[in-house]
Structure formats: C-alpha cells, structure tokens
Amino acid sequence: MASRWQPAMSQALAEARAAVTAGEIPVGAVVLDPAGQIVAGAGNRRERDADPTAHAEVVAMRQAAAALGEWRLTDHTLVVTLEPCTMCAGAIVQARIGRVVFGAWDEKAGAVASLWDVVRDPRLNHRPEVTSGVEEAACRQLLQDFFGDRRTPS
C-alpha cells in the first residue's frame, strides 16, 4: 500500500527541499485529484509570507481549491512529509480531504495520531482515511538534518 504513494511523496519531499533553500522548515505537501494527478504542491511559507498559517498543507490545499474553483476537496488526497499539526488537521477536515498520507511522525505536535487524532474524531462531520509512514526515513532525515545544522555550534 505504501508504495502506491511513493511517487507523490517524492514530489512532497521535493517541495520540502525547496522550502529549505528559502529558509523554511522542510515540510512539503501535494494534493492529488481522484485520479492520482497532482493538482497542487507547496512547501512551508511561514517565514517568506510572515504568515503563521502558511504550513505546507494549508498552502497546498489553498492552491488546490483555487485551481478547482471549489473549497471541497472531497475524494482528493493530501500527501505530506510530516504528520499534520492541529491547525492543519482542522483544515483537512474543513476541506473534506478524502485521504491523508504522511511520512514522518511528529511526536511533539502531531494531530493525526501522535498526540491527537483530530482527523478521525467521531464527533466531527468528516473523517478522512489515513496512511502513515510513507518514505518515513527520508522525511525524518530531512528534518533532522535541517535542525541539526541549526543546533551545531559554529
């Protein structure tokens, strides 16, 4: 099952690497249409946009909604390199995303299984399918390298 998502995760990783070159935390996301074609992709943009909501997932969902002319992303898949936080998980539910695929777990802020499971909370009106651990090692390593470089004394 995970191999099905590897090409899309490779693109999300490319978005994350591009974010690093812009001084952003390396998280990337792509939105796939029901046929599996990428309709949008983004990396984190918080620093560039001076916007606390400009996480890769939110930016990619905004782009997808604009491209489709529709805020409902029903039957679409969000592929992201890091487990979404509570803000992004809420946006995923609001956008009616059909499936979330993520790479690395976020033990400190994850809201799709690690700390909370916002997207599958039975009290909410929408619950996407979740696939985790796709290209997990590569996704985790990108983040570890980014933060390790910043913590190393110069």
pLDDT single digits (tens) 129-147: 999 999 999 999 999 999 9
Residue 1 reports pLDDT greater than 70: no
**Mean pLDDT, range 55-68, rounded to an integer:** 98
Domains of the chain: 5-144 (3.40.140.10)
Q: Which residues contact 76 (CB under 8 A, 6 or more apart)?
A: 31, 32, 33, 34, 39, 64, 97, 98, 99
pLDDT the model gives residue 8:
98
| Mean pLDDT value across the chain | 95
| pLDDT given for residue 148 in this prediction | 86
Please tell me whether 88 is known to bind a ligand: yes
Residue 3 has what pLDDT?
Answer: 84
Residue 152, pLDDT above cutoff 70: no
Catalytic residues: 57
Contact 105, 132 (CB under 8 A): yes
Question: pTM for the whole thing?
Answer: 0.94
139 annotated ligand-binding residue: no
Q: What is the mean pLDDT of residues 76-87?
A: 98
